[in-house]
Amino acid sequence: MTKYVIRGGKPLYGDVEISGAKNAAVAIIPAALLVDGVCRIENVPQISDVTLLLKILQELGADIRTVDRTTVDIDCTHIRNAKVPDGMARQIRASYYLIGALLGRFGESLVPPPGGCHLGTRPIDQHIKGFVAMGADVDVRGGYIHATARNGRLQGGQVYLDIVSVGATMNIMLAAALAQGMTIIENAAKEPHIVDLANFLNSM
C-alpha cells in the first residue's frame, strides 16, 4: 500500500497557482449558451468534464477558440439546436446544466440523462421541480429528458427546494436568467461556485 511519510519542522515557501474550480466551470460554460456573442472564460481547469462540455457546445454549433492553456472564448450566436448529442453528455454529471441553459434560451431542451458519476444515481427531481415552477413540461422519452416551456418562454416562479442542492440551485438559476419575471429560490445552496455563476450571469 502506498504511503506518505512527512518529516516536518521546516518552513514552507514558494508560490502555488490554483486552477479554477471545476464546479464553477461546468456551470459557467453552459451559461454561455444564454447569449449571442463571445464569452471569455479565464482560469478554466484542465479536466475532462470541461473538455467534454466544450465539445458538446461545438456540436451544437458554438465557435470555441482557445486563447491559451486556461482561457477560452465561446460564441454561441449561431446555435439553433436544443438537442444535445447523446454519447458525450452521458459521460459527465454536469451535462444536466445544459437543460436549464437551453430551456432558458430556446424554451426547449432535449438532453440525455447525466452520467459520469461513480457515486450511483443522484436524481434531478429538484431541478425538474424548478423548471415546472417556471412553466415547463418535463418528461423522459426516447432516452432524452425533454423540457418545453408551455408558452414558448419560461415565466418567473417561486421554487422551494426540498433539499439543499447545489446542482438544482445552479440549474434553476440558468433557466431563470432569461425567464419573464422574477424567480425566487428558497432553501437554495450557497457554495462559492454558486456565487461564481451568479457573478457570471450578472456580468452578461
d(CA 184, CA 161): 11
Q: Is 39 a catalytic residue?
A: no
Q: Which helix (H) or strand (E) holds 28?
A: helix 22-31
| Phi, psi (rounded to 5 degrees) for 126 | -70, -35
Q: Which of 36, 58, 61, 117 is catalytic?
A: 117
CB crowding 126-154: b at 16 or more within 10 Å, else e: bbbbbbebbbbebeeeeebbbbbbeeebb
Which grid coordinates belong to 142? 426516447
| Active site members | 117
